[in-house]
Structure 1
Amino acid sequence: MRLLLAFILLFGICQPAITATPAPATQSELDHVLLWGQSIDQVTAIMAVKLGFQIRPGRDPNGVANRYVRFSDRSYIELEGITRSNATMDPGMLADQAVLHGGPGARTFGLRSSALDQARSLLQRDGFTPTPIFSASRTDPDGGGPSRPPRWRLFAFQHQPLTSNLFFIDYAPSNTTSFSHADDRVAREHPNSARELSAVWLLSATADVDRRQLERLGYAKAKPIRIPQIAARGYCVPVGGKSIFVLEPDGAGIAARALHEGGPQILGLSIGVDDLPRAKRWAERGYETTLASYRGVLGHAFLAPTRTDLGLLIEFHEMSKTVSKDACGG
């Protein structure tokens, strides 16, 4: 999958003309983010030791390894790192590494759609440039074999609609036994009590550009937000039951420095946890510092100081105790 996701990065970022006609991407949900580390072991150690996530194995076919942080709601973070000097990378991976200058960070995220063909047709109708739909190989070692449907299907964009790279993906139903189902459930339990990837924070010079593009994609009802902890303002855009924050700097601070140093990027992630004090204490011990709590967009939260070693920030927030929740706060 990583080889095909790199197709997203190959085309750069191009903003199509804004039109008044929405192009809804139906039945979609925030799925996962691709996070590069300085090495696969470095990013694994930070996520596990400093932050308290359980890391699941991946593969290393051509010198670019991946591992996973999987959550109980099926969202996840894909960790990536180069494992040898002569790694085989396609042009998309090379372009990604050129932007990151060999350092850590994220520029790509995916939305899961249970109506992938319909979503692609709607987006194409409304002036976007989706790629053909790509599928996992029938001989995928993690798939169900040639007789089963492809493990995943996805499409990206020839010209990216947002200032960070977006793709849409869907997965075949799992063919699990009682044992593999139990193993999968255990694999999604984390020492820090993490339960879901709740929000992706997109940083650019003008948040309203991404807001309008998300509205064209079918994601409306944006709510103005401010995040004083990083000196940023912008909008929270609901996507299914989760959120995309589109942000711009609000004076001097973390957001302005990040934009100056790295351009448009995924500046942060919001992770929902069952036990916020436990997650906070884990991060405080990992970073040997005291962290401040605050009332954030998604509720009571704290910000782990991960930008230096992960290339982005991770916000932990308390999961809503109510049956229904507003994806952009109360």
Structure 2
Amino acid sequence: MRLIRFVSAWLLLCAGVAQASAPATVAAAPATRLDHILLWGRGIDQSTAVMAVKLGFQVRPGHDPGGVANRYIRLADSSFIELLGITRPDPAFDPGMKEDQQALKGGPGSRTFGFRTSSLDAIHRSLQALHYAVTPFFSGPDSAKPGWQLFAFDRAPLSSNTFFIDYADGYAPDQFDPANAGDYRATREHPNGARELSSIWLVSADADADRRQLETMGYGHAVPVKLPALGAKGYCVPVGPTALLALQPDGAGIAAQTMANGGPRVLGVSIGVSDLGRAQRWVERGYERPLATYRGLSGASILAPTQDDLGLSIEFHAMQSGVSPCAGASL
């Protein structure tokens, strides 16, 4: 059995993913939500500078095992973005890292994201019953400390790699002592007002294939969506309080450019902010250009011009309370 693994700071992230052979579906646990993405940069300092200076995030330190460093952008809703960067000419890639670097052609971008769930065992058993090639469980950082547990797949059910993860109470990859509540809160305060990861966008040549796989895995109720700002169409799939967008190009635009330049991957993420005007001013200063406000799936939004720097798009939107994650989706 081929096991694809990411080892970065405190997360063993198993890439690769499975295709179902049964038409039945598994009931998704209501406690499941989108957790984070792995974002490769041209270098760890380059991606840190873009995130901090141009976009206004606070970036937390990580580690550098084997020549692949990581850093964190932690959000108040407990989600995060993990930055990865090569720090030496001959890094010790595991198979998953090597595969990602080959697919990204050494450039910036993301091909892996995670679901977080409090029902890890039940979902693992259900996916096994559906003949998904799920891996065994992996855990860390070590048995003496509260940490994480995850499983991934050996063949890809979706157009981007994914895994399912759960964390022990109080665990945070960028902080060992959960008793320091003030420090914990401070690490989640960002100059741009970012508070939540509301959606992750996947792009492929066949959005419906991703939609069908998600439905089989237990994530149904997809809503058709068209995103003119990205030149994309597809489906919005609710995952707890978050949304996973399965997209494909719809004419000219960022989606078509991304597929032409590198193929299926994470096209972007959407970040809820407490003050959209502040986020817009920060990004406009960082990129030295005006940005237009548009109505996205989550209401008033701006699209930061991050494709060249980060290999994906980052959308900022005004936070909305009491609204379902796909409420704004419509054709």
- TM-score, scaled relative to structure 1: 0.92
Q: Alignment partner for residue 165 of structure 1, among 161, 167, 191?
A: 161
**Inter-CA distance 41–148: structure 2 relative to 1 (3 Å threshold):** closer
For 1:325, the aligned partner's letter is V
Where structure 2 has 5 or more consecutive residues not aligned to the other structure, the ranges are none
Matches within 5 A, 1:98-137: 98-137=102-141
- Give 1:114 deviation, angstroms: 0.6
Partner Cα separation in structure 1 for residue 177 and residue 19 of structure 2: 45
Counterpart check, 1:86 vs 2:90:
yes
| Match of residue 36 from structure 2 | 32
Which aligned segments of 4 or more residues in structure 1 are displaced greater than 6 angstroms?
A: 175-178
- Give 1:178 deviation, angstroms: 7.6
- Give 1:177 deviation, angstroms: 6.3
RMSD: 1.7
Q: Secondary structure at the match of 1:230?
A: coil
Q: Is the 8 A contact 1:225 1:234 kept in 2?
A: yes
Q: Alignment partner for residue 149 of structure 2, among 153, 165, 170?
A: 153
| Match of residue 15 from structure 2 | 8
Q: Is the 8 A contact 2:14 2:151 kept in 1?
A: no
Q: Is the 8 A contact 1:272 1:317 kept in 2?
A: yes
Partner Cα separation in structure 2 for residue 318 and residue 259 of structure 1: 29
Where structure 1 has 5 or more consecutive residues not aligned to the other structure, the ranges are 139-145
Partner Cα separation in structure 1 for residue 47 and residue 177 of structure 2: 32
| Match of residue 324 from structure 2 | 326
Partner Cα separation in structure 2 for residue 207 and residue 147 of structure 1: 43
Partner Cα separation in structure 2 for residue 98 and residue 178 of structure 1: 38
Partner Cα separation in structure 2 for residue 147 and residue 234 of structure 1: 45
Counterpart check, 1:52 vs 2:56:
yes
- TM-score, scaled relative to structure 2: 0.92
Question: Percent same amino acid at aligned positions?
Answer: 55
Partner Cα separation in structure 2 for residue 280 and residue 272 of structure 1: 12
Structure with a larger share of its residues in helix = 1
Render the CA deviation track for 1:274-323: whole Å, top value 9, x for unaligned: 10010011000100101111000111101000001100000001100x3x
Q: Secondary structure at the match of 1:189?
A: coil
For 2:28, the aligned partner's letter is A
Name the stretch that deviates more: 110-119 or 22-31.
22-31
- Give 1:53 deviation, angstroms: 0.2
Matches within 5 A, 1:284-303: 284-303=284-303
Q: Secondary structure at the match of 2:15?
A: helix
Residue-pair matches, total: 316
Matches within 5 A, 1:184-203: 184-203=184-203
